[in-house]
């Protein structure tokens, strides 16, 4: 079973609105990362939040982490059509070297 699960699976909003995506995971983590993937392309790293951090900002992105609930959220403010993509959370556990990805949220921003 997957470590991370994003919610919702798909999200459609108007340009200028905010988009919120959630990620839940099952075991203790070292850090959690969010990636974006445009159709047919590779993944682009957006932001990393460590297990001892609760919130991080990067431009229009805001990520929160609640380790007690084993969940994270990604907020994109003032969305643009160019934000249309799939968004994945990836967890790095305290053991091992790999990252475990969830199934992703497909975001559509309508002009």
Partner 1 sequence: DAGVTQSPTHLIKTRGQQVTLRCSPKSGHDTVSWYQQALGQGPQFIFQYYEEEERQRGNFPDRFSGHQFPNYSSELNVNALLLGDSALYLCASSLKAGGQPQHFGDGTRLSIL
CA–CA gap between residue 32 and residue 106 (Å, rounded)? 19
- Closest to 79 (Cα-Cα) out of 103, 49, 59: 59
Under the binding rule (CB under 8 A), the answer on residue 41 touching partner 1 is yes
Residue 44 is a binding residue for partner 1 (CB under 8 A) = yes
Binders of partner 1 among residues 58 to 77 (CB under 8 A) are none
How many other CB atoms are there within 10 angstroms of residue 19's CB atom? 20
Which backbone phi and psi does 88 adopt, to 5 degrees?
-125, 140
**Segment near partner 1 (CB under 8 A); pick from 13-21, 31-39, 53-61, 63-71:** 31-39
Closest to partner 1 by CB, 17 vs 50, is 50
Residues 92-111 that bind partner 1 (CB under 8 A): 92, 96-104
């Amino acid at each position: 079973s997957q470590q991370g699960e994003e919610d919702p699976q798909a999200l459609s909003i108007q340009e200028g609105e905010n988009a919120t995506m959630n990620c839940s995971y099952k075991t203790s983590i070292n850090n959690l990362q969010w990636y974006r993937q445009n159709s047919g392309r590779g993944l682009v790293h957006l932001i990393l939040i460590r297990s001892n951090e609760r919130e991080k900002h990067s431009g229009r992105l805001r990520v929160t982490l609640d380790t007690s609930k084993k969940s994270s959220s990604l907020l994109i403010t003032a969305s643009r059509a160019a934000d249309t993509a799939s968004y994945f959370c990836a967890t790095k556990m305290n053991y091992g070297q790999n990252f475990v990805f969830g199934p992703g949220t497909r975001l559509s921003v309508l002009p």
